[in-house]
Chain A
């Protein structure tokens, strides 16, 4: 993370200079309005914990490509319902004798795939729309925002179930639906960030230099709202992971036999009392992944959002 090279967008409480600049300025050329805290802000503990948890999920997904203890989809009737701690199966096996650890490892891939697709769709659609909504004249921007509000009112899971019903259940379809449902939050966030950037003097200066609206949007607004986008992306990632688990649990998500944490939960239902570990293991995996992305988002927000400065 190039923390010191990516200043936050200038906000009303931000003062005219990013806090990172202060160390490099000689005191006699300091503006009187600069914020008094001289220290460069470092990411907090939540950032590192979140990064660690997310890193763990990524590591699991990567490891699963080269090595799993067993074939995650291999049904071994002689090894059904092995308990945790079994010498051959460290996390036991399910009712069909499939290795839980292998399924968790491969399931991490599904989880990341899900998040990437959903956040990708939401970001690719939402960020340009947000910038356009901020820069467009009022009579065009307002209807756009009302349309976005309409989408916001539509429950994400319902949209996903609808998409699955129409296009058939697959991870990709479900995730595109979750992505579309996440578009409004991106649009609204990026729009408000862009409005702030558009009111800055460097945008006026760019216009005074003859820069057209497209170039201002791409070169001046986009880089300066990227911090907000990164924060929103990590939070949306967590939402997407959770949504995939919920959809798979309902039977609309990842179809078998592809291992998915959500479907592992669903399959554990009938054995909830006989073998609760089958629910607990994927449950913990989902919880940790969601926690990781949320903490990462919080940590990044602390770093990027000037309004958080005083509260820490």
Chain B
């Protein structure tokens, strides 16, 4: 897989920061969906974004690509390396030029992420020609490059695969095609929205491996959205925990997973811990369900489901930690009992 190291565009070498999100706030109608989301990703860094369904993970990823609905009110700032302007409030035409070139996305469902009426090779070639500029719109060269990319993502007989329609490929093969499309222009940031959830476990491992190798070969940043904590542990170096449209905890994966501070993170980890389940027979759960948008409590968003909530939780907890990429926001953090 040495061909994966295809560096065609010089990257901005002066800074290692690829993505910088500051105070991202999204409102849709009367719903306040994202609150002050702040994080950054460096070159070659792989960051996981975890949380239950409805906690704002996918919304964050769509905001990064400027794909939120037109009537969404977005404030804050999203800066991407190599892009001179803020992505928030940018014109659609400028955003379209960035998408697929500087930032690319792998979607959850490989069955529907490909156009059923277009040959797979053409779909890969499409994304190459869009961003090739006026001089480089050579269809044949793009098609040849598409076959090359399909080979890189490990499709057997890439030439035949390029001529196939999506329904002629299996789910795993389709997701490889989706990855090929995402990596086609060597983006500096790859966003993966639960890319392996729809795949079975053996295929899952291979696609994950493919994504990690593709990203590291390009020295690109990876934002990996999932609710599979074991996937985060194998793929990512840092993790952001989201709940109720906020980042409630952030830090290195080993740190956060070994010693969670926020009660929500603690609950998530407990609900995934098969060792403790073996003794008790049942997995511990977080009581209740994720409230629907707009019905999260004020103060600490998690207090309606938290066993440790007290009156003080009615006020919004401050971020406790050295920087936005390292810390938590909880009045009663786990691991603090011994100290107090």
A residues touching B (Cβ–Cβ < 8 Å)? 5-7, 9-10, 16-18, 20-21, 24-26, 28-31, 137, 200-202, 204-212, 215, 219-220, 223-224, 226
Contact = CB atoms under 8 A, between A and B. Distances in A.
Contacts of A16: 109, 111-112
A29 B199 contact: yes
A208 B70 CA distance: 15
Interface stretch (B113-121, B262-270, B292-300): B113-121
Given A29-B170, A29-B203, A219-B126, A208 B65 contact: yes
A237 B97 CA distance: 43
Contacts, number: 110
A302 to B, nearest CB: 19
B198 interface: yes
Contact of B67 (A5, A208, A224): A208
A109 B67 CA distance: 51
A31 B200 CA distance: 9
B57 interface: no
B105 interface: yes
20 contacts: A7-B165, A21-B167, A21-B168, A28-B200, A30-B171, A31-B111, A137-B70, A200-B112, A202-B112, A202-B114, A205-B107, A206-B115, A208-B99, A210-B96, A210-B131, A211-B96, A211-B126, A212-B96, A223-B118, A224-B115
Interface in B76-121: 93, 96-101, 104-105, 107-109, 111-118
B172 interface: yes
A224 B126 contact: no
A24 B160 CA distance: 15
A20 B167 CA distance: 7
A202 B111 CA distance: 9
A7 B111 contact: no
B101 to A, nearest CB: 6
Nearest to B198: A31
Contacts of A205: 105, 107, 113-114, 178, 181
B130 interface: yes
Contact of A202 (B65, B115, B131, B167): B115
A223 to B, nearest CB: 4
Nearest to A18: B167
A10 B117 CA distance: 11
